[in-house]
Amino acid sequence: MKHSDKKINILELSKERFASWLEGRQIESYRAAQVFKWIYLRQADRFDLMTDIAKDIRPLLEDHFTIDRLETENVETSIDGSRKYLFKLEDGERIESVLIPERDHYTLCISSQVGCAQDCRFCLTASGGFQRNLSKAEIVSQVRDIKNELQDSMPLSNLVFMGMGEPLTNYKNLVAAIQVITDSSFGLGFASRRVTVSTAGIVSRLADLGRDTRVNLAISLNATDNQTRNRIMPINRKFPIEKLLKACQQFPLLGGRRITFEYVLLKDVNDSVEDAYRLAELLRPIKSKINLIPFNSHEGCQYQRPNEDTILRFQKILIDKNYTVMIRQSKGQDISAACGQLAVKTADSKQKTDDRG
């Protein structure tokens, strides 16, 4: 097949672009809405299943488009019930998504990039470097495919961009994916208030995110002074704490919402009483809640998790200052699915291993 004849994965297209493709072939544009309902609401994988689309149109669509799913290479289930999916992408790269059962719903943690360029010192994803952005379809498909596979009556209703990668440095694809994910008529129908984008603090994109979407914002703060934050999160040299928090103050919050501040607790690095008081001070002007994440260790990492007393002391100081503070005991530690533990061999590193072998 000539390259120009290659079929397009329809999940890459917006409904509007697909409608204009149809119009170019004298087909009514409302067919686009019908096709999208089949793909996202009914999870159809083939055009010939789309019984309300005229019989002569279906083969034309089949000739030009595919409705792709990701290739699932492995699924691991933790003793706590969370499941880690390893997907192999078309170019051989791999990503992970984690499905987490909560009391009455599932939360899905998805990836936005292969690897990550932020180089946070405590995160395993960072150690493999950055490979590439995920396409819109690769982001959406993590959700569509896993939702399709769930046999359970418990709904998958919550989504967090807390997997591999920095979502705000893949901005265009992120926003296009969120649009489909939150479209209740022709998309996956997630409520915006149940979707959270977590960022290491790409300040230059926060206003855009507030304008272009209605999702929740989470900030990985992780330190209370610039010296410490520079050391553990290099992005802080570009966007220091004052700038980050000022942008948070300006972030539009819909009715009653708050910004989540994530704080990875690292023994003797950011877990002191002074840190807790400083954190309370820093967040005072912002409608916020705090997630404390005791460090999850991984091979070759110099950091340690503080002991239980230190964690509880840190939490108590913040609670006494009237903050809502959750301690996030990350699920899936036995299968390396917890925060900061996602890392897969990339096509590159595998190649190198193969070469050596």
- As measured in angstroms, the least distance from the Cβ of 37 to ligand SAH is 31
- Taking CB under 6 A as the criterion, the residue among 110, 180, 292, 293 binding ligand SAH is 293
- Applying the rule CB under 6 A, the residues between 149 and 208 that interact with ligand SAH are 162, 166, 198-200
Catalytic residue among 23, 28, 96, 281: 96
Q: Which residues, 6 or more positions from 87, have their beta carbon under 8 angstroms from its beta carbon?
A: 70, 71, 72, 73, 94, 95, 96, 97, 142
Q: Which two tokens stand for residue 237?
A: 């040299």
Nearer to ligand SAH by C-beta: 139 or 293?
A: 293
Residue among 123, 259, 290, 344 that touches ligand SAH (CB under 6 A):
123
Least separation in angstroms between CB 262 and ligand SAH: 4
Give the number of residues in contact with ligand SAH, rule: CB under 6 A: 17
Q: DSSP characters for 3-27? A: GGGPPEEGGGS-HHHHHHHHHHTT-
295 binds ligand SAH (CB under 6 A): yes
Distance CA 194, CA 158 (A): 5
Based on the shown chain and the rule CB under 6 A, indicate whether residue 9 belongs to the binding site for ligand SAH.
Answer: no
Asked if 133 touches ligand SAH (CB under 6 A), the answer is: no
Q: Among 135, 123, 92, 134, which Cα is nearest to 342's?
A: 123
279 is an interface residue for ligand SAH by CB under 6 A: no
Which residues on neighbouring strands pair with residue 87, listed in sequence order?
72, 95
Active site residue 339: yes
Span interacting with ligand SAH, options 6-14, 42-50, 224-232, 292-300, rule CB under 6 A: 292-300
Active site residue 96: yes
Site string for ligand SAH, 312-351 (x = CB under 6 A): ---------------------------xx-----------
Q: Are 187 and 40 in contact (CB under 8 A)?
A: yes
Residue nearest to ligand SAH (CB): 340
- The whole-angstrom separation of Cα 250 and Cα 282 is 15
264 binds ligand SAH (CB under 6 A): yes
> How does strand 259-265 pair with strand 216-220?
parallel
**310 touches ligand SAH by CB under 6 A:** no
Q: Whose CA is closest to 177, among 217, 123, 134, 208?
A: 134
Question: What angle, rounded to 10 degrees, do the helices at 273-282 and 308-320 form?
Answer: 30
For binding to ligand SAH (CB under 6 A), which residues are involved? 118, 122-123, 162, 166, 198-200, 220, 222, 262, 264, 293, 295-296, 339-340
The residues annotated with a catalytic role in the active site are 96, 339
